[in-house]
Copies of this chain bind each other. A is one copy, B any other.
Amino acid sequence: MILRLDRVQVNLPPPSDPDPAGAAAVQELLGGKFGEMSTWLNYTFQSFNFRARQSARPFYDLLASIATEEFGHVELVTATINSMLTGASSADDGRAPGNGLADVLGVGNPHHFIAGGQGALPQNSQGRPWNGDYVFCSGDLVEDLTHNFFLETGARNNKLKVYEMVDHPAARALTGYLLVRGGLHQVAYARAVEHLTGADLMKLFPTPRIPTDKIPESRQHIERGEHLRLYRFSQDDFQEVAAVFNGPHPETGEELEVADVPHPVGAAAHDLPPQPVVFAPDYEPEEISEIAQRLRKQAGLPDKPTGLVSDDSRDLSAALATKTRP
């Protein structure tokens, strides 16, 4: 079972200039063979299928913890794509019928507009859907962990390439963050293999052989120690990750650590504006709004929506910290 928090792991820039071609490229990090859906679902299936988990508890706890963080990465990539697509449809009053999508004809992934509502899709940068063949789950612990190390290596490669290809601020903020956290997972799996076999994989870092701290957008996260700190993403469970996730970081020599809180405080998500040309959330969004308000009133809810969304005019971290109870 999981519980969900209505927030994202890290603050992303608000929508700026639309970049549908860039959004199509960023899809690789979502639905590509090495995208976040793959890391998420690989580790999730491996944890579901883990046999004799009690006797190998530290490894099970590691898989479950990282799997759970990956949900948040998928969420961040979708938020980035959604942000980059905001404003890409252009119409005078923003309402069909007209030429509201003429500007994006031949640009980016046509499904972002025709199938979706200017929103992210479980597809790669070529518009091909993610599929279950991307999940590897042999049940052999050494082999699964070796796979995961390789998967994170490929994922790091793809993030670096997308960084080079897309300079939209949201894409850069995203990749800067994911490189740090993905790098940590790459280390975690290598260390787990080392513990199980006695092999020494430390000199494999970094692969690709560019240090993460060369990425300007990664540095702030490194400075906060996010390249060293594993979260369990659970209130009470998965306490044994510390038995596997320890020792020196292969690149910096600093000690790896398990966070004493279950998860980072994170940030409220941006509430992206309607895109009425694609009927998201409706041809006449204000009608939805009125209905929702009426329903809220009938249910005895407060006048103002109870959820927190990003509001550049004030700092929400205090509000979020109150809600979060590690």
Contacts and interface: CB of A to CB of B under 8 A. Distances in A.
Interface in A151-174: 153-154, 157-158, 160-167
A25 B292 contact: no
Interface string A7-22: 1110000000000011
Given A132-B130, A142-B207, A301-B242, A266 B105 contact: no
B139 A119 contact: yes
Contact of A128 (B50, B108, B117, B127): B127
Interface residues of A, number: 170
Given A45-B122, A307-B57, A115 B1 contact: no
Contacts of A160: 96-97, 279
A45 B120 contact: yes
A113 interface: yes
Contacts of A203: 197-200
Interface string A105-143: 111111101111111111101111111110111111111
Nearest to A3: B3
Nearest to A98: B164
Interface in A53-77: 53-61, 64-65, 67-68, 71-72, 74-75
A89 to B, nearest CB: 8
Contacts of A136: 154
A26 to B, nearest CB: 10
Interface in A246-295: 246, 262-263, 266, 271-275, 277-285, 287-289, 291-293, 295
A222 interface: no
A58 to B, nearest CB: 5
15 contacts: A1-B233, A3-B233, A5-B237, A6-B238, A22-B105, A32-B114, A51-B271, A57-B296, A59-B288, A61-B307, A116-B138, A146-B150, A147-B150, A237-B323, A240-B296
